[in-house]
Amino acid sequence: MRDHPDADDTSPPDVWTGRATNRVQWLLALAGAACMALGIELAVDSAWTSGSAPLVMSVVGCIAAGLLVLFGTLAFVHVDLKLDRECVEVRCGHVGLPRRRIPLSHVAGADFAALVTPRQWGGWGYRWRPEKGTAVVVRRGEGIVLRLWDGHTFTITVDNAESAVRIIRDRLRTITPGTAG
């Protein structure tokens, strides 16, 4: 967890950054890599005698499933949040994709959520639920709930979320809705 200024400081930082990490997903990535290795092993050292179609299907299936699990989990091992004077930017994983940039002029308010869980959102990752809104959930714990002017919400799990909410609320006092900041 990174150190952030306390509420007692006179002015918030120009750029606030936060992060949440889920080390459990590394185990899922390892399972994906193992599945890929199995597919490669089958392709290289196969003793199948029942024809090539089942072998090709097994190899392709193992490699495809391994890639899907490996890259799907690595994309959501962590989330980075950057809050500057104009927007909130959320980047996922090591590549930074998916990424969402929300101008503060589109934010009606920000709330602290003491507990955001993958169960509430249907799992880890970039989630959308009609009754709840959109979320980036990489672990269980505290988060930020942004209420947007279009009636939607955007939830992000991030460490030290209370500090981010204070800064967002402070910056929203100086922004007119619908302006460029």
Has residue 27 got a pLDDT over 90?
no
Angle at 168 between CA 177 and CA 106, to 5 degrees: 25
Q: 38: left (phi > 0), else alpha (psi -120 to 50), else beta? A: alpha
Band (105; pLDDT cuts 50, 70, 90) = very high
Q: Which has more confidence, 7 or 47?
A: 47
Edge-first strand listing for the sheet containing 133-137: 107-116, 141-148, 153-157, 133-137, 125-129
State pTM to two decimals.
0.73
In the chain the beta strands, taken as DSSP E runs, fall at: 16-21, 78-83, 87-92, 99-103, 107-116, 125-129, 133-137, 141-148, 153-157
Given the DSSP bridges, would you call strands 133-137 and 87-92 parallel, antiparallel or unpaired?
unpaired
Band (101; pLDDT cuts 50, 70, 90) = very high
Has residue 8 got a pLDDT over 70?
no
- Cβ 144 vs Cβ 109: under 8 Å: no
CA dist 95 and 47 (Å) reads 39
pLDDT tens column, 127-160: 999 888 999 998 999 999 999 999 999 999 999 9
Asked which of 23-27, 121-125, 139-143, 154-158 is least confident by mean pLDDT, the reply is: 23-27
pLDDT of residue 181: 46
Has residue 5 got a pLDDT over 60?
no
Q: 43 by DSSP, 3-state: which?
A: helix
DSSP-derived secondary structure letter, 23? T
